[in-house]
Structure 1
Amino acid sequence: MTTSNDARLRLDSLAVHAGREDLQSLGVHATPIDLSSTYPLSGVEAGGEAYERMATGGDIGDGSAVYQRLWNPTVARFEQAFAALEGAEAAVAFASGMATVTAVLTAARQRRGNHVVALRPLYGGTDHLLATGLLGTETTFVDAVEQVERALRPDTGLVIAETPGNPTLELVDLTALVAAAGDAPVLVDNTFATPVLQRPLAHGAALSLHSATKYIGGHGDVLGGVVACSAEWAQALRPVRAITGAIAHPFSAYLMHRGLQTLPLRVRAQQSGAQRVAQALLQMAGVRAVRFPGLEGCDPGGLVGEGRQMAGPGSMISIDVGTAAGAAAITEGVRLFTHAVSLGSVDSLIQHPASLTHRPVAPEARPHAGVVRLSIGLEDPADLIADLEQALAGSRG
């Protein structure tokens, strides 16, 4: 939960200081990592009360942490810091982004019902999980905000959207989406934007979810997920996390918390580089279309800009090179970009979604075979542009 001091700090200061409030009393400067799997109990009754409190979604209070699957101080510090950045009452951290999605869907079923309205495009793993009904949910997929209200049912437990969308970078007007959802809670996958550029809860969403593996960690060396929400939602999510064993590992939480301290700097620098790369791609032979929220025509709703829904366009770019063969040629022809899944790292990545992350998605919702997704890192944009030019030239040769 944010403190009164947090509330007075601007984002860049929060990123550095949030979640570190107890370090002075501990007599340390760097965030400590508590790897304990179990914790001493002061007595039988007190131990039982502590277990009951945390197993049912409560916080540690003044008792023992009991067991790492229930609570861990390193994880809790990251959660406190992340909630502050999202402007949320609470945050709950998980072992991966998909573990986070799974927990939210499970809690939503318990709270309201097993029907989900999902606005495409979505990350392929989320889309596949919903389409299979693996968790007992029944999903109505829609393609536009205008279709959401008609898709609602009395047992709709959740409305899910992702903006910018993966991998096409389509934008969703969150204020309009929340209005269309009525009293159904809205979950927004905020992975691409991060809280630096977008705060879904400020637009009425109930939950803001992140694959923290991406920009939050930022260095391609941690797996994790986190969702910012109300205290009430957090209390519903923690028992699911505890019983399924999906809590983030303390070292992962430490890395994610450390990543927050440079998050604003990295996001803005990568965004600046992406703007230059996107502009250059418009002039490159072999590129049929470029989607980047910072380009003219890619933000018809006027959602991106100072004081708007998104403070900036981010650093993800989607290009269409026409064919699967062309996509393979460019992804395999780059030298500076790493051909790999994931995104948001300090180094630039390139990926063909149709054959990887979106392979399990239904054919009608799968991205075009010629679409290639770029995640722009912290390299000099001129070097990235030169790399793409030589790869495109090679694909035509």
Structure 2
Amino acid sequence: MKYEKPFTNALQGGDKAFREMKNFSKTAPIFETSVFSFDSLEDVDAYLNGDPDMYMYSRLDNPNNRQLETRLAALESAESAVVSSSGMAAVFAAVMGLMKAGGAVSSGTRIVTSRYLYGGTRSLFFQELVPLGFTIVEVDSESPDAVLEALNESPRDCLNILYWETVSNPGMKAADIRKLTEAAHASKPGKGEDGCGLEILVDNTFLSPALFRPLEHGADAVLHSTTKYLNGHSDATGGAVLSREEVVEHARKAVINFGSQLSPFESWLTLRGLQTLPMRMERHSSNALDIAARLKELPEVYNVCYPGLDSLRDSFPLGAGGMLSFDLESSAAAGRFIRGLNMISFSPSLAGLQTTVSYPASTSHRNQSDEMLRSQGISRSTIRLSVGLEDPDDIFQDIQQALKGGEDV
């Protein structure tokens, strides 16, 4: 429609072109809007009465977010999902969702977790949740007895959230999720006579649902930093919580009320990445296994950690992901190695298409003491390697020449 005045044409001209479309674009459009329009008051009533095909405000919901949530739920075999602005926002929303679904209050909630926890999550737990009344209990993830002991020491009328990572960051310690969940649920089946409930929350960021689905192995909820493998292109930040409907709806309220919604464009970028997730994860895994095996043969390299090499490799028949870590002789050697790399870049994140390295002692675990680092299997010479999709010969050649002081091999 054309109007007589230029101001009106600039604002309204041509709007019917998309409002009256009778077919659909092959690729989902980006609904980069803060608010949606209605044709009538009856439509507003329909939305407020729960019409699932209507939207009002992108802080509450958006078609791009809805599509991403639906696809993630299908990938993780979950009833429902909610996305958030980051992986850390997802951790917080997941804890809130489990706590409220379990009928608990913060002062009656214990989080039992691994001492090999990602540094950012550990900071959230101890710096933010403890002052709110949560109790955090760290245990040795490699000792099932220690986990069960921590659960059995729970006071009466307390919700226990068992929080685990499928593969720890950056120590690369793989958890036997099936064995862990079976033992935990056997110890506290539902809400026992002591009034204690149990929910098992798993961070599946390092494996993704292409390789492992914790809900199929007894977990109650799963979360992701979608920034990593789900997006896969290092160009969108986000998070996701997946669980039964009740938990997700409480988590969704936390996302809305704390203002941690994912933007439509970030959702769209993550949806684009999901289309190649299985292929990418297969390649990441095969490359990482190749590189890990070669690193173990180098005299300059110590303590190569990759889940595909250890006793739990049979737990991941589809692959063990693209993340590994190793130690060098000293922190000075680690610095020389990073400076000597040519193709591989030093980037404090992970899971992109290109191979990158990070130095945990100065990034994710920067504020931790030497003693705390050692307790998590990390040293000041630990290198974390995010193995990309390049030819593994080229990846290894760059590693070799950097270990030799930056000289060409």
**TM superposition score normalised by structure 2:** 0.82
Name 1:78's counterpart in structure 2. 68
CA distance in 1, matches of 2:40, 2:371: 59
Runs of 4+ in 1 over 6 A off after TM superposition: none
Pair 1:147 & 2:146 matched: yes
Structure 1 contact 329–394 (Cα < 8 Å) conserved: yes
1:43 CA drift (Å): 5.5
Q: Which ranges in structure 1 are unaligned for 5 or more consecutive residues?
A: 1-23, 54-58
Q: Deviations over 1:288-335 (max 9, x none)?
A: 22111222xx22xxx333xx4553221111101132222222122211
Q: Give CA deviations for 1:67-86 in whole Å, capped at 9, x if unaligned.
A: 10111011110111111111
Alignment of 1:27-106 (within 5 A): 27-41=24-38, 47=44, 50-51=47-48, 60-62=51-53, 64-106=54-96
In structure 2, the residue corresponding to 1:328 is in which secondary structure? Answer: helix
- Aligned runs of 1:126-145 on 2, under 5 Å? 126-134=121-129, 136=132, 137-144=134-141, 145=144
Alignment of 1:1-397 (within 5 A): 26-41=23-38, 47=44, 50-51=47-48, 60-62=51-53, 64-111=54-101, 112=104, 113-134=108-129, 136=132, 137-144=134-141, 145-152=144-151, 153=154, 154-182=157-185, 183=190, 184-295=198-309, 298-299=310-311, 303-305=312-314, 308-309=315-316, 311-361=318-368, 363-366=370-373, 367-394=378-405
How far residue 213 of structure 1 moved from its aligned partner, in angstroms, is 0.6
Specify whether residues 26 and 357 from structure 1 end up closer, same or farther in structure 2 by C-alpha distance, changes over 3 A only: farther
Deviations 1:105-128 (A, max 9, x none): 223333334321112312110011
- How far apart, in 2, do the equivalents of 1:60 and 1:219 lie? 34
Using the TM superposition, give the Cα deviation of residue 339 of structure 1 relative to its aligned residue in structure 2, in angstroms. Answer: 0.2
Aligned in 2, Cα 1:250/1:170: closer, same or farther, shift over 3 Å?
same
Sort the Cα spacing of 1:242 and 1:26 in 2 relative to 1 into closer, same or farther, 3 A.
Answer: farther
The answer to whether the 8 A contact 1:121-1:365 is kept is no
Identity of aligned residues (%): 36
Q: How far apart, in 1, do the equivalents of 2:45 and 2:162 lie?
A: 37
Instruction: Specify the code of the residue in structure 1 equivalent to 2:381.
Output: G
The amino acid of 2:288's aligned partner reads A
- Seen in structure 2, the aligned counterparts of structure 1 residues 72 and 390 have a Cα distance that, compared at 3 Å, is same
* Greater Rg over alpha carbons, structure: 2
Q: Look up the SS of the partner of 1:194 in the other structure.
A: coil
Cα pair distance change 1:239/1:43, threshold 3 Å: farther
Q: Which amino acid aligns with 1:124?
A: G
Counterpart of 1:141, as a letter, is E
Given that residues 204 and 222 in structure 2 are in contact (C-alpha distance below 8 angstroms), is that contact kept between their aligned partners in structure 1?
yes
Normalized against structure 1, the TM-score is what? 0.85
Tell whether the 8 Å contact from 1:95 to 1:246 is kept in structure 2 after alignment: yes
Separation (CA, whole Å) in 2 of partners of 1:26 and 1:151: 57
Q: Which whole-Å CA distance do the structure 2 matches of 1:380 and 1:208 have between them?
A: 32
Q: Which runs of 5+ in 2 are unaligned?
A: 1-20, 191-197
Deviation sequence 1:70-103 (CA, Å, 0-9, x none): 1101111011111111111111111110111111
Secondary structure of residue in 2 paired with 1:290: strand
Cα 1:181–1:47 shift into 2, 3 Å: farther
Give yes or no for contact 1:163–1:169 (8 Å, CA) kept in 2. no
Q: Conserved in 2, the CA contact under 8 Å of 1:146 and 1:180?
A: no
User: Partners of 1:352 and 1:31 in 2: how far apart?
Assistant: 38
Moved more, 75-84 or 99-108: 99-108
**Higher mean C-alpha displacement, 362-371 vs 221-230:** 362-371
- Check the 8 A contact 2:344/2:356 in 1, yes or no: yes
Separation of aligned partners in 1, 2:79 and 2:124 = 28
CA gap 1:25/1:381 in 2 versus in 1, 3 angstroms: farther
What amino acid does structure 1 have at the position aligned with 2:225? S
